[in-house]
């Protein structure tokens, strides 16, 4: 049986205004979480794939996720 992460967010805080909710007061969350980081975490946890979920309600975030999905087999849906 495959293991799936059904709710995975990715973001890069270096894009000004992209994630207005993501502020330094959030501690450990205030850091980039990239596709390569997610792939490593999934592999380390024996998770076979993930569904990406928006971290911001924007067209840019949707396009970012679709681009990640096109490049990575572990992304099973957006």
Structure tokens, 50: 């993930």
Q: Are 54 and 61 in contact (CB under 8 A)?
A: yes
Strands (E), 1-78: 4-8, 49-52, 75-77
Under DSSP, is residue 20 helix (H, G, I), strand (E, B) or coil? coil
Q: pLDDT tens for residues 2-14? A: 999 999 999 998 8
Predicted pLDDT of residue 1: 76
Q: pLDDT tens for residues 36-64? A: 999 999 999 999 999 999 999 999 999 99
Residue 50 phi/psi, 5-degree rounding, is -150, 160
- 15 pLDDT above the threshold of 80: no
Structure tokens, 7: 């709710």
pLDDT band at 18 (very low <50, low <70, confident <90, very high): confident
Give, in degrees to the nearest 5, the angle at Cα 9 between 19 and 43.
145
């Amino acid at each position: 049986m495959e293991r799936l992460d059904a709710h995975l967010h990715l973001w890069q805080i270096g894009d000004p205004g992209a994630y207005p909710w993501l502020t330094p007061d959030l501690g450990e969350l205030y850091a980039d979480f990239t596709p390569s980081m997610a792939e490593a975490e999934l592999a380390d946890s024996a998770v076979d794939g993930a569904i990406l979920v928006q971290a911001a309600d924007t067209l840019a975030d949707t396009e970012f996720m679709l681009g990640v999905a096109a490049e990575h087999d572990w992304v099973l849906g957006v």
